[in-house]
A and B are shown apart, each in its own frame.
Chain A
Amino acid sequence: MNRFNKYFSFLILCIIPVLTNAQQVMKSMTDTAAFINSLAQFSRSTQTIQGEFVQEKKLKMLNDKVVSKGSLYFKKENKLRWEYTEPFSYIISLNNGKVMLKDEGKVSSYDANANKLFLELNDILITCINGNIFKSKKFSFRFFETEKNNIAEMTPVNSAMKKFIDKIILYFDKTDFTVTKVDMLEPSQNSTVILFKNKKLNGDIAEKYFILN
């Protein structure tokens, strides 16, 4: 095989998976404005969200995966309970600017406004859920779609955040606009996938879920 043929074969081998993958996976979203409007409409009509999640972390350095499970409760305007039940119990509750953590039965309370990290966390989690995330100047956005999902790819603009997160990819269900999957990619090439299931919209959620004691 001459030199040209070698390079040509190598090029073909590189291109084929890219092309086939592109066809199978996703294409650029045709009407981004319509998607953002529909999402805003869905957010306006949603008072509460509850569901379960499974989180899987893939570490480049280890062969095994790290799987955690738990549940999520959101109540308008800004109340959120993110609860890990497996492999151990850990709860974070955001309640009108107050952050509460329950770890091994011990509760710690923080003022989100006094702690930059919690303020960021509070802002990202709440805006992701209430649909205002696309107004954020902390990320640049790209939109894609598949047959079943609208996909928003968020890249941090802020250099401090870039150290932790390379990209966050949100997968929205095309039928009900809820987030079904989140992919978080780290600069270290480690990644976290969170899958949401058993979602319930606009059900009653007692206030006690957002108060930890």
Chain B
Amino acid sequence: MKVDQIFFNLFCRRHLRFVFASFCCCFLLSSCSPKMFADLKSGEGRYSKGMLALFRPGKNESLVYKTMIKYKDKEFSSLTYLNALNDSVFKIVLLSNFGNTLLEAEISRDRFTVSNVISYLNRKPILKLLEGDWRILLGGNLKRSIPKLFTENSQSTVFDFADGRTNNLYHYDPVAKSVTMIESYKGKSKKVLVSIDSMQDFQPEVFSIEHPSLHLKITMSLLKKASNDSVE
């Protein structure tokens, strides 16, 4: 093949399109794995199963959280019930303050099944956001793989559970033996920040989930374990 033919082939319309698409792919792929998450070592030896698990609800007693949702300048509250069916399946129920059911769902490693949801919450973006938040919170409970080691010092060890372009960083306090913060990144930008303000019996007592780009903040305070008293 002559040089001018190669040149022609390379810059003819069809090939230009190919060159442009390849360039875009390279650009996207490079942005998929930001430097900060590249070449991380495995957390093996530092990580043990269950150490990043935030919740330990019983099968008969749910954890009950008063949930304050602040979206822009609007604020409303509800109740969240969390219950474990087994080690890898959790039940989540949202109730209004009056006790009306807003949502009932089950979350496992690969499924999020909504069995009942009130019409105004039954929107794909809302349910996806809710699933995403619970996947981050329950990452330490649900993930089977060994996370990568992000950073380590005497005060905290940061583990990274990566999933495609998403990197979830779990800040673990080796002295308190609990997770203190979770950061969720999509590429380089931080999408979700979970701050654990206080713990009770190795479970979060007060924590918040913040979506800075959505101006959304959810604060959850542990009320108590659900009662089994009966009114009748």
Contacts and interface: CB of A to CB of B under 8 A. Distances in A.
A186 to B, nearest CB: 6
Interface residues of A, number: 30
Contacts of A204: none
A64 B93 contact: no
Interface string B28-72: 000000000000000000000000000000011110101010000
A62 B62 CA distance: 8
Contacts of A56: 230-232
Contacts of A192: 99-100
B19 interface: no
Given A56-B230, A87-B64, A87-B224, A63 B83 contact: yes
A65 B77 contact: no
Given A57-B95, A59-B81, A186 B101 contact: yes
Interface string A108-147: 1000000000000000000000000000000000000000
Contacts of B97: 84, 90, 103
A108 B68 CA distance: 14
Contacts of B93: 59, 61-62
B174 to A, nearest CB: 34
B223 A87 contact: yes
B104 A64 contact: no
B119 A163 contact: yes
Interface string A45-68: 000000000111101111111111
A57 B101 CA distance: 10
Contacts of B231: 54-56, 67, 193, 195
B232 A195 contact: yes
A195 B231 CA distance: 7
B227 interface: yes
Interface string B114-142: 01101100000000000000000000000
A190 B104 CA distance: 11
A83 B75 CA distance: 20
Contacts of B61: 64
A7 interface: no
B95 to A, nearest CB: 7
A213 to B, nearest CB: 18
A87 B225 CA distance: 10
A192 B97 CA distance: 13
Interface of B: 59-62, 64, 66, 68, 75, 77, 79, 81, 83, 91, 93, 95, 97, 99-101, 104, 106, 115-116, 118-119, 223-224, 226-232
13 contacts: A55-B99, A56-B232, A61-B93, A63-B59, A65-B230, A66-B64, A66-B226, A68-B99, A84-B97, A88-B66, A88-B223, A163-B119, A195-B231
Closest CB pairs A-B (n = 7): A64-B226, A188-B116, A56-B231, A54-B231, A87-B223, A57-B99, A61-B104
